[in-house]
Chain A
Amino acid sequence: MDTVTQVAIADVKRRHRESGLRSIWYLLPAGVIVALVIGYPVLRAVMLSFFRFSPLGGSVTFVGMHNYVQVLTSRQFGAAALHSVIWTFGVVAFQFVFGLIGAVLLNQKFRGRGIVRGLVLIPWATPSVLAAMMWMWILDANYGVLNDLLTRLGLAFLARPWFSQPHTALPALMLIDVWQGIPFFAVMLLAAMQTIPDDLVEASKLDGATAWKTFWSVKFPIILPTCLITTLLRIVWTASYMDLILIITQGGPGYASLTIPADAYYTAYSDLNFGGATAMAVIQAIVLLGVVMVYLKLLSKQGILDK
């Protein structure tokens, strides 16, 4: 390496160090829009959790921790929290596992790959109302395809009113969300797999590693950052996602499929207790923050944050 190049490289390194200030210009435009659209509303919602506030007006009174105490001692909140945990982690786990398998499949070379890649994406691009209405009929107790198929296969004892039984309502709803969410992971991970350098894979094969071993030792570490961030965001989104629940079971039967955001929705718009609703959401956000912290630790350990 000649001196000119060395000087040039030193210059580039210096520019990287100075990048602290410069990075503002890269982040500012995005930051402004995110702050405007989400930042202010989030701060306001957090503030409101310390007030008694009805969206229809009337006085706004500071009540301190009252909303939180009320939420934490309310009859259904414990159940809602438990359902939220089952819902969130259950759904994301299945979506991720099947999404990963799907990404591997879509990464193979086969005839008609383009159209297959398009077709499997469709559940993801289904508006919630449509997914909910469709699955409601598929799983309908009397006219549903699923129960009919089970009956025809001689498995009639398995047929049941899926949404009307406390222990099947939440799993049935989770099935719908898994259906919708698999393509999300498949596409994200498929994209990540494109960054795997071919020569590394070739080298591993030359070393005599099996496809299975090559996947876990060579490919997976490269897509791991994408795995982590997509599951993290998906956990956050799924925790707040309630459209299916509101349309199909309204959290029922009883509280059997009530999650925290669904509970917050009814508190806000039926009981007109916006303070209580935001308090519920903030409690959930605090728990999610814990999850994020653990995640960031993981990411740091992988060296992903400090690259």
Chain B
Amino acid sequence: MIIVGHVLRRSVLWILLFCWLAFALGPYLWMFLTSVKPASELSTIPVHYLPQHWTFAAYAELFHTTPFLKYMTHSIIVAVVTALATLVLAVPAGFSLSRHRFRPKKIVLSALVASQFLPSILLVLALFPIMQSLGLLNRMIGLVLVYTGFVTPFTIWLVKGFVDGIPKEMDEAALVDGCSELKVIWYVLLPVLTPGLVAAAAYIIIFSWNEFLFALTFASKDSVATLPVGLNTFIGDYVTRWDLLTAGGVVSAIPILIFFTLVQRRLISGLTSGAVKS
């Protein structure tokens, strides 16, 4: 009886996972197939699912004649630095909002949410002079600054939520032992916070990875341009290079896939359960 239940549960799990993978990756599979089709097979009735003539010419062109790998490097640098900077800012802030008592806490928390109210397109005009006076136009650090500003509010909320979930006794015990609060954050809370930080990092990195408007407006020079800007250059006024666009899409998913497959191991439970007792 138990074994039957187990098998049943496993099959349900795999069926659901399969459906999800199909939905999530179907468009990417289609993107891949488009990238290996010659242009003449792109739009046919009835639809050709598999290319009749496989060609990897788009990938060759992507790597050899377009600065795509350069764009990808820029994207990786901007995303990683933004993630580090944001976490350094947001972890103490989130800790404070969870543990400290002070009056305007609700105002601070609401203000963080309210900061996300306006569409960024309406903020570009006001941000432009700031970026210029700081000398940050066409520099990756400029993008890092802007992205950090935009992702910090949610990251703080997230960190606060995760710190809330950690029993107070844990850090209080360390404080009693005479540790400073920052030491408590670093040595006691960070290890327990890891799942939350992984989620926050995923959010920050993906935000930076996808962001187009600021990247285009503030850093579209070849020497700093990021992936979304690069992908957009394959779309002309009349002609769209579907092969390059789709090949670029497939390639740009790879770093994210590797990154998350590596860090997801940190999403493990049970970190807090025993802590209270000991």
Contact = CB atoms under 8 A, between A and B. Distances in A.
Indicate, yes or no, whether A interacts with B. Answer: yes
A134 B27 contact: yes
A236 B158 contact: no
Interface residues of A, number: 116
Contacts of A193: 269
Contact of B108 (A27, A40, A42): A27
A184 B116 CA distance: 17
Given A9-B176, A125-B253, A281 B164 contact: no
SS of A interface (majority): helix
A19 interface: yes
Nearest to A241: B119
Interface in B213-243: 227-228, 231-232, 235, 240, 242
Contacts, number: 325
A264 interface: yes
B92 A26 contact: yes
A254 interface: no
B183 interface: no
Contact of B245 (A29, A133, A183): A133
Contacts of B146: 37
B149 A36 contact: yes
Interface string A222-266: 100110011011001100101100000000000000000100110
A230 B162 CA distance: 12
Interface string A194-224: 1111111000000000000000000000100
Nearest to B98: A307
Contacts of A183: 24
Interface in A90-127: 98, 101-102, 105, 107-108, 110, 114-127
B1 interface: no
B25 interface: yes
B62 to A, nearest CB: 14
B203 A240 contact: no
A188 B162 CA distance: 11
Nearest to A148: B47
B123 A233 contact: no
A44 interface: yes
Contacts of A143: 42-45, 47
A114 B265 contact: yes
Contacts of A107: 269
A130 to B, nearest CB: 5
A41 B175 contact: no
Interface of B: 10, 13-14, 16-17, 20-21, 23-25, 27-28, 30-31, 34, 42-47, 49, 89-90, 92-93, 95-103, 105-106, 108-110, 112-127, 130, 145-146, 148-150, 152-154, 156-158, 161-162, 164-166, 172, 175-176, 181, 195-196, 198-199, 202-203, 206, 209-210, 212, 227-228, 231-232, 235, 240, 242, 245-246, 248-249, 252-253, 256-258, 260-261, 264-265, 267-274
Contacts of A121: 202, 256-257, 260
Interface of B is mostly: helix
Contacts of B240: 133
A289 B117 contact: yes
B210 A39 contact: no
A172 interface: no
Nearest to B118: A281
A158 interface: no
Contacts of A289: 114, 117
Given A114-B265, A197-B273, A33 B149 contact: yes
A72 interface: no
Contact of A190 (B31, B150, B258, B267): B267
